[in-house]
Amino acid sequence: EPLARAAAEKYGIPCWYGDIDAILGDPEIRAVHNCTPNHMHAEVNERVISAGKHIFSEKPLSMSSGESDRMVKLLGERPELVGGVNFCYRMYPLMLEMRDRIAAGEIGKPRLVHGSYLQDWLLYDTDYNWRCERKTAGPSRCVADIGSHWMDLAQNAIGSRIVEVSADFSTAHAIRKKPIKASGTFSKMDMSAGYEEVPIDTEDYAAVLVRFENGARGFYGCSQISAGRKCFIDIEVDGSVASFHWNHEVPDRMWKGNRDAQNEHVMRNPLLTSPCAREYTGLGAGHTEGWNDAFKNGMESFYRFIAAGKRHRDCKCDFATFQEAHWIMKVTEAIIKSSEERRWVKVED
């Protein structure tokens, strides 16, 4: 409650709550954003849905596919409600442009999808976050936390699900030093009050081979121990006649690779992009849009969908759905199993 009050005062929010019951009991609130730690996602999401409110959840959707399956079914019983998940990278205008151009056949048949998501904020054994422990993060950290974003990008870009995986995990630090004084995500650790040594049961790095439902192949790496990489995510789709590549650190530019012509750089320009990409472009060409804009685009898409009276049973949406996030939970579990058993694993439908 003190934290809620402090945040409300800081940002000029007129109404704040000390617990979930107060939120769910307020008839003025029609939608809830679930930004709790992973182990609380399922309980909060289910309570919001049961209370008859729209839900926009952080990812991963849950701690297990069993939990996410239960949520999908619960939401399906309330067709008047909308459920979204914050896979924000798909909402960059040029990722929507890539999706639309691939669907239109511009690069031919997608054959290979590859890329990475690299960070360095957990490089040292003195770096600690609640995501490092299974009891609060779930059975996977690096794949579930950031690899899930890459998988959502890949599936959305080529319009096909990942159906089989082969993976290798590694944990650089079996023990991490957890500061007694809590620090925020991406913050410098404050060891002034001392620390406790905590055994780590989640992966710092993963390499994953994937096969898609449409026959395309792919591979990606994700790491939270890659020095100098703060938030590097990139994806390339190689088609039968051309390729597209996009890098989150240069979000207003998409590379197109050609075999028998000059390669091209496609700039974000609302006068020239697809109607969908244009819809989520807030600035003119040359004025760079970034992560906060993509984050906003996901929420804007969610609320536009609701305001227009659209519902999942009738309409497709640009933001990630509970069904899509549930599938990524299943892919993540297959990836964990593959690493443990050192073999290819099919994603169970």
- Torsion angles phi and psi, residue 341, rounded to 5: -100, -5
Asked if the model's pLDDT at residue 185 lies above 90, the reply is: no
Average pLDDT, the chain: 96
Domains delineated in the chain: 103-287+322-346 (3.30.360.10)
pLDDT recorded at residue 296: 97
pLDDT of amino acid 184: 72
pLDDT band at 103 (very low <50, low <70, confident <90, very high): very high
pLDDT at 291: 95
Q: What is the pLDDT of residue 46?
A: 98
What is the pLDDT, as a whole number, of residue 188?
Answer: 78
Instruction: Give me the mean pLDDT over the 184-205 stretch.
Output: 87
DSSP 61-101: S-SSHHHHHHHHHHHHT-TT--EEE--GGGGSHHHHHHHHH
Tokens of 214: 């449409």
Query: Mean pLDDT throughout 201-219?
Result: 98
Q: For the whole model, what pTM was predicted?
A: 0.94
- The band of 115, judged by pLDDT with boundaries at 50, 70 and 90, is very high
Helices vs strands, H then E, count in the chain: 11, 15
How do residues 228-286 score in pLDDT, each as one tens digit? 999 999 999 999 999 999 999 999 999 999 999 999 999 999 999 999 999 999 999 99
Instruction: Please give the DSSP secondary-structure letter assigned to residue 143.
Output: I
- Greater model confidence, 175 or 179: 175
Does residue 171 carry a pLDDT above 80?
A: yes
Q: Is the pLDDT of residue 187 over 80?
A: no
Q: Model confidence over 302-345: pLDDT tens digits?
A: 999 999 999 999 899 999 999 999 999 999 999 999 999 999 99
So what's the pLDDT on residue 338? Answer: 99
First-to-last CA distance in the chain? 42
